[in-house]
Amino acid sequence: MAPEYVVHYSEVALKGKNRPEFVRALRRNIARSLSGLAPVVELRDGRFVVSASGTAQDAAARLGKTFGVAWFSEVAPVGLDYDGIRRGVLDAARASKGRTFKVETRRSDKGYPLTSRELAVRLGAAVQEETGMKVDLTDPEVVIRVDVTRSNAFVYSNKTPGPGGLPVGTAGRVMHLFSGGIDSPVAAWLLMKRGCVPVYLHFYLAPTPRNALESKVTKQVKALSAYGGKSTLVLVPFAEYQLATADAPGDLEPSLFRRFMRMTAEALAPPFGAAAISTGDSLSQAASQTLWNLASFDHGSTLPILRPLLAYDKDEIISLARRISTYDLSIEEYKDCCAIITRHPRTRVKSALLDDYVRRLELQDLVQEVLRGATLVSYNPVGDVLRCADLADSMPTTRATGPEADL
């Protein structure tokens, strides 16, 4: 018999009239995360009831990476009659091998003949009598939970936390500047937690994109796809920019290149249906990320710039990278564009100065030139399918932005 799970959401439940939109998205994402396991996802009384083939460990690992899920538990469905619930609770108590316990009950069906408290008291007395376990309402070794719905009851004793947040796709798309370091994958994860779909934009050094495709960059995108589903990566060559800006002052390099990256992301946003640009910036973590340089980066943008790591320090970012399994990938050897940028950049670059160099070096035209040589990479975690094509031949048509873009 396929394992069954009860899956609860929290933040989604706080939505108002648009709650059904979020619930539909979460239901779709749960089914997608369990692809290949013949999932059945049903909404019952404010919770999802999910069945899936395969091992319980596999299903649990996937549910644990589905944004919007507050917690889930493998459950034993029983009938609504008291004797059936009692047997389920006793089975859970015996399987736990604990010495102290308490019973928690919830009723979606307020017409059930017993109140939640009455049901908990009767079931607790039965467990105590049949197993000898002692009741401890403060700090029990085992908590046996009973959810009574209109159709049946569920008995379970373990709650596994999910990642929380909002279902991926409900907040629209963002063009995400992706270096392959420690910060940008964590920033992408946080954006997905808020419902965004990141389109990854990476600038590579080698003459061809092959080195980037075989590097940690692609591995990181694959790792993040476990949380966000299908992923899109745009690989842009750096050489043309490097040649065009060879005579620019060395201490201006980081800010000028970052402005160029933003301009490139801005040009790509409409066809990908992106409503914002995002980065892995952390305030004052590097000279290019001072408040003044961030302002110079943003100056003139027609799109909002999102920085989910702005107030995180490096230790906090590393801790989160370890938690989401991107840290070890991030520290793999790979020479990206940042490796050749000056080590002594200006900390207060004026926007007007960057504007002047953008005009003099005709960087707006250069954006179109580098995009003609860019590569579009799509990755589907279902089947581990990676596809590459020239961006110029595969540029998507203009998409809608906002939640409807990915629902």
Longest Cα–Cα distance of the chain, Å, equals 85
Q: Report residue 1's pLDDT band, with 50, 70 and 90 as the boundaries.
A: low
pLDDT of 399 higher than 70: no
Which pLDDT score, from 0 to 100, does residue 397 have? 62
For residue 244, what is the domain's CATH number?
3.40.50.620
Which pLDDT score, from 0 to 100, does residue 335 have? 76
Alpha helices in 76-131 (DSSP H): 82-96, 116-131
Which pLDDT score, from 0 to 100, does residue 340 have? 59
Which pLDDT score, from 0 to 100, does residue 398 have? 54
Which pLDDT score, from 0 to 100, does residue 178 have? 96
Which pLDDT score, from 0 to 100, does residue 406 have? 59
**Do the beta carbons of residue 195 and residue 165 sit within 8 Å?**
yes
Pairing of strands 100-107, 142-148: parallel
The answer to whether residue 164 is domain-embedded is no
For residue 141, what is the domain's CATH number?
3.30.2130.30
pLDDT of 404 higher than 60: no
Q: Report residue 97's pLDDT band, with 50, 70 and 90 as the boundaries.
A: confident
Which pLDDT score, from 0 to 100, does residue 130 have? 94
Separation between Cα atoms, residue 361 and residue 351, nearest integer Å? 15
User: Range of 100's domain?
Assistant: 80-151
Structure tokens at 62: 């996937």
Query: Following CA atoms 243, 248, 251, 256 in sequence, which dihedral angle do they give, to the nearest 10 degrees?
Result: -70
Share of the chain above pLDDT 70, in %: 95
Weakest mean pLDDT among 120-124, 207-211, 354-358, 375-379: 207-211
The answer to whether residue 377 is domain-embedded is yes
Report, as an integer, the average pLDDT of 378-396: 90
Residues 336 and 368 in one domain: yes
For residue 50, what is the domain's CATH number?
3.30.70.1510
Report, as an integer, the average pLDDT of 61-67: 95
Q: Order of strands across the sheet with 40-44?
A: 40-44, 47-51, 4-8, 71-74, 160-161
pLDDT of 7 higher than 80: yes
Residues 97 and 222 in one domain: no
The answer to whether residue 181 is domain-embedded is yes
**Full-model pTM:** 0.91
| Buried b / exposed e along 207-245 (16+ C-beta atoms within 10 A) | eebeebbebbbbbbbbbbbbbbbebbbbbbbbeebeebb
